[in-house]
Amino acid sequence: MQENRKSWADSTRRNTLRAVFVVATCLVAHASAQSGRPAPGPGNAWSQFRGDPRLTGVTSTTTPSTLALRWTFEAGEAIESSAAMRDGTVYVGSGNGDLVAIDLDSGKQRWKYQTGASIGESSPAVSDQAVFIGDLGGTVHAVSARDGRLLWTFKTDAEVKSSPVVSGDLVLVGSYDMHLYALETATGKVRWKLETDGPVHSTAAVQNGVAYFGGCDERFRAVRLADGKTLFEVPLGAYTGASTVVDGNRAYVGTFNSEVLAIDLSTRKIVWRYKDPDRQFPYYSSAALSDGRLILGGRDKAVHAIDARTGKSLWRFVTRARVDSSPAIAGGRVYVGSSDGKLYILDVTSGNKQAEFDAGDAITASPAIASGRVVVGSTEGRLYCFG
For 231-250, the pLDDT digits (tens) are 999 999 999 999 999 999 99
Which pLDDT belongs to residue 40?
66
Which pLDDT belongs to residue 6?
39
Which pLDDT belongs to residue 65?
80
Q: Is pLDDT above 70 for 260?
A: yes
For 92-117, the pLDDT digits (tens) are 999 999 999 999 999 999 999 999 99
Which pLDDT belongs to residue 214?
97
Query: What is the rounded average pLDDT for all residues in the chain?
Result: 91
Which pLDDT belongs to residue 16?
43
Confidence of residue 278 (pLDDT cuts 50, 70, 90): confident
Residue pair 56/38 in contact by the 8 Å Cβ criterion: yes
Confidence of residue 67 (pLDDT cuts 50, 70, 90): confident
Q: Is pLDDT above 70 for 154?
A: yes
Find the range with the poorest average confidence among 19-33, 129-143, 257-271: 19-33
Q: Is pLDDT above 60 for 203?
A: yes
Q: Is pLDDT above 80 for 38?
A: no
Beta-bridge mates of residue 353:
346
Pairing mode of beta strands 165-167, 150-155: unpaired
Q: Is pLDDT above 70 for 37?
A: no
Nearest to 322 by CA among 345, 339, 310: 339
Which pLDDT belongs to residue 39?
52
- What b-and-e string marks burial along 136-148, b requiring 16 or more CB atoms within 10 Å of the CB? bbbbbbbbebeeb
For 356-376, the pLDDT digits (tens) are 999 999 999 999 999 999 999
Q: Is pLDDT above 80 for 46?
A: yes
For 333-344, the pLDDT digits (tens) are 999 999 999 999
More confident residue, 304 or 4: 304
Confidence of residue 3 (pLDDT cuts 50, 70, 90): very low
Confidence of residue 172 (pLDDT cuts 50, 70, 90): very high
Judge if pTM exceeds 0.85: yes
For 307-353, the pLDDT digits (tens) are 999 999 999 999 999 999 999 999 999 999 999 999 999 999 999 99
Which pLDDT belongs to residue 7?
40
